[in-house]
Amino acid sequence: MSEFRCHNDFNADLWAIRWVVKNYGTLPASDVNVEVVLDRDGHGDFGGGPVCRGWEMLPQAQLEGFVQIRVDRDARDQLTHGETPMVGHVKVTYLSPGASRFTHSADFAFDRTTQNFKPNRPETRSCDG
């Protein structure tokens, strides 16, 4: 993940979260799937789901898009006062040229001081199959 941030006004009821996935490797990746879920760390789900499936990415190429979530006034107040966290969970799966499947997952915590997301705990693992 090279980007995960709120694209529009924080005070809006509908947030547009921009995500960007980049192939930093030197080989192409196939069957690239991206899934985004936003939640309150166990205090309710803001929504999300698969945002792209089956893409191919050449080296240094990137995929980008938006996830829209509804955030009502009460939820925004809780976020700004630190009463409840919001975390974006992103999972990217892909096949390498040797047919090994890899999963990269990253969490992005909402930071109330910057009113945007910051990266937290990225992890990549191989799931040969």
Is the CB of residue 5 less than 8 Å from the CB of residue 117? yes
- For the whole model, what pTM was predicted? 0.82
Which CATH topology does 3-126 take?
Immunoglobulin-like (2.60.40)
Say how far residue 23 (Cα) sits from the centre of its chain.
15
State which amino acid sits at residue 84.
T
Mind listing the pLDDT tens digit for each residue in 98-127? 878 889 888 888 888 888 888 886 665 555
Mind listing the pLDDT tens digit for each residue in 53-101? 899 999 999 999 888 888 888 888 888 887 778 888 888 999 988 878 8
SS3 at position 80: helix
